[in-house]
């Protein structure tokens, strides 16, 4: 199982200057021993190429995969096409193969909003394809995609292999998806039952949410619980007679 943590769970420390991205990466490797990390765009102190390259190099040195760039609301048609292009460029610069996105609110005219969102996403997916970066879209309450059915309908209109699913771990909706559907990210909260994380998966399990005043302690405990349940019992050795 591939486990990652998102910087958004450490946002308070990062934004107060009590923790830098580089220190966070080092702690993710040495203290949490995770396989990958997700960078939330909102947590970047700067997004220039030099800084992005530094993050990528440190992650590489530590043996951590930069899984994704997290940009909530990027599918809101009110956001400029430039924002999408810049997000794709930043994902490439930090070495992330995914951009995690959500939609904006439905607005007063859902049909019009839906059509504009499809058009904006087609343009973003085209830019992502050119850079070989995949978008993972998550259903979210209060957004244009409240549940998986909304995301599935939307995906059919966008019709791009560079748009995939981002779902809660253990979601009963998971069973609705066929073998050809790609769930690249499954989200897992700090207070959730570790059993929810045990479904066999080929994508990433991303630990996220409000970690309180001790994010490293809570993340470490959650990861340990997940991995403990994931351990297979050893078969007794058979000594030839």
Lowest mean pLDDT among 52-61, 72-81, 101-110: 101-110
Q: Across residues 109-131, what is the average pLDDT?
A: 88
Lowest mean pLDDT among 100-104, 183-187, 215-219, 233-237: 233-237
- Asked if residue 233 has pLDDT above 60, the reply is no
Task: Give residue 232's pLDDT band: very low, low, confident or very high (50, 70, 90).
Answer: very low
The pLDDT score that the predictor gives to residue 173 is 75
Task: Give residue 226's pLDDT band: very low, low, confident or very high (50, 70, 90).
Answer: confident
The pLDDT score that the predictor gives to residue 200 is 63
- Give the range with max mean pLDDT: 10-19, 63-72, 136-145: 63-72
The pLDDT score that the predictor gives to residue 161 is 93
**Stronger pLDDT, 99 or 172, i.e. the higher one:** 99
**Stronger pLDDT, 172 or 155, i.e. the higher one:** 155
Q: Which CATH number fits domain 14-167: 3.20.20.150, 2.40.50.1020, 3.90.1150.140, 3.40.50.150?
A: 3.20.20.150
The pLDDT score that the predictor gives to residue 30 is 96
pTM for the model = 0.89
The pLDDT score that the predictor gives to residue 198 is 74
The pLDDT score that the predictor gives to residue 237 is 42
3-state secondary structure the chain: CEEEEEHHHHHHHHHHCCCCHHHHHHHHHHHHCCCEEEEEHHHCCCCCHHHHHHHHHHHHHHCCEEEEEEECCCCCCCCCHHHHHHHHHHHHHHCCCEEEECCCCCCCCHHHHHHHHHHHHHHHHHHHHHHCCEEEECCCCCCCCCCHHHHHHHHHHHCCCCEEEEEECCCHHHHHCCCCCCEEEEEEECCCCHHHHHCCCCCEEEEECCCCCCHHHHHHHHHHHHHHHHCCCCCCCCCCC
pLDDT tens sequence across 26-53 = 999 999 999 999 999 999 999 999 999 9
């Amino acid at each position: 199982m591939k486990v990652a943590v998102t910087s958004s769970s450490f946002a308070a420390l990062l934004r107060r200057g009590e923790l830098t991205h580089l220190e966070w990466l080092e702690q993710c490797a040495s203290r949490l021993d995770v396989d990958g990390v997700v960078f939330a765009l909102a947590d970047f102190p700067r997004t220039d190429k030099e800084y992005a390259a530094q993050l990528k190099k440190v992650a590489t040195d530590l043996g951590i995969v930069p899984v994704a760039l997290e940009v909530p609301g990027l599918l809101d048609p009110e956001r400029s096409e430039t924002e999408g292009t810049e997000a794709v460029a930043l994902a490439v610069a930090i070495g992330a193969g995914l951009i995690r996105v959500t939609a904006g609110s439905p607005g007063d005219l859902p049909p019009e909003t839906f059509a504009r969102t499809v058009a904006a996403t087609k343009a973003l997916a085209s830019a992502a394809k050119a850079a070989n970066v995949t978008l993972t879209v998550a259903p979210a309450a209060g957004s244009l995609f409240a549940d998986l059915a909304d995301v599935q309908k939307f995906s059919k209109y966008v019709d791009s292999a560079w748009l995939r699913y981002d779902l809660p771990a253990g979601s009963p909706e998971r069973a609705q998806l066929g073998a050809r559907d790609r769930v690249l990210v499954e989200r897992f909260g700090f207070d959730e039952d570790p059993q929810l994380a045990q479904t066999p998966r080929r994508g990433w399990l991303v630990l996220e949410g409000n970690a309180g005043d001790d994010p490293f302690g809570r993340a470490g405990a959650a990861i340990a619980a997940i991995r403990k349940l994931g351990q297979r019992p050893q078969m007794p050795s058979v000594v030839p007679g």
